[in-house]
Structure 1
Amino acid sequence: MAPKYIKRVTLFKIPKEDDTEAVLAEYDILRKTAEKDGKPYIVANEARRIENAAEERAQGYTLISITTFKSKEDYDYYDKQCAAHAKLREFATSRRTGFATLQLESDLGVGP
């Protein structure tokens, strides 16, 4: 049986294009700096603009981030203790008008 991964999907409503660029740049920093016990612990992260953001079915969301973890423990660390994630969250908070965060179990270690 394949190992189960935990995925965190976060959707953002970021009205200004400059702010979207800035948040995407912060995700680049997160991918380089997020550590647990002195080691990288995120299996994968992809942050991108939502291509159909102008459509009604996108409900105003403009950016998506999908982050994959090896365990619920790593997910919880990211959510509550990771300094790199705290920095990103603080940065994004004043630039977004809404967000949604979803968690799911997956058989896939990378990709959506």
Structure 2
Amino acid sequence: MSSGYVKRTTLFKIPEKNIDLVLKQYEVLRKTAVKDGKPYIVSNVARRITNTSSPLSEGFTISSQSVFRSKEDHDFYDKECPAHAELKKVTGSVRTGIMTVVTEGEWPEPKL
């Protein structure tokens, strides 16, 4: 991945009966997430985790990976994006336990 991209991986514990609901909401997100009137998410893939019977899965049932061009786009997604706010409403209403988010990429150096 080229310099400056930010990758965000999110793991959810979603009951089996609600997995399709969450995956459909990710489809909505991919179609409706815009910043300044234009799509801004480079890519997003959300899928069911298939090895949920393994202790290594820790009970997570959905994985999502989103790629952004910049930290600013990632921050917009996290704090301001209406499409992401709708996704959070859906996942927040059906998830159980913790959610894990891992973000990696070119972040500015902190000012000390």
TM-score where L is the length of structure 2: 0.89
Match of 2:9 in 1: 9
Match of 1:31 in 2: 30
Q: How does 1:8-87 map to 2 (within 5 A)?
A: 8-15=8-15, 17-87=16-86
Q: Secondary structure at the match of 2:94?
A: coil
Larger strand share, 1 or 2: 1
Structure 1: runs of 5+ lacking an equivalent: 107-112
Superposed displacement of residue 4, structure 1: 2.6
TM-score where L is the length of structure 1: 0.89
Match of 1:100 in 2: 100
Superposed displacement of residue 10, structure 1: 0.4
Structure 2: runs of 5+ lacking an equivalent: 107-112
Determine what percentage of the aligned residue pairs are the same residue: 50
Superposed displacement of residue 18, structure 1: 2.6
Q: Deviations over 1:26-73 (max 9, x none)?
A: 000000000000000000000000111111000000000000000000
How many equivalent residue pairs? 104
Larger radius of gyration: 2
Runs of 4+ in 1 over 4 A off after TM superposition: none
Aligned-pair Cα RMSD in Å: 1.1
Superposed displacement of residue 3, structure 1: 2.5
Q: Deviations over 1:69-89 (max 9, x none)?
A: 000000000000000000000
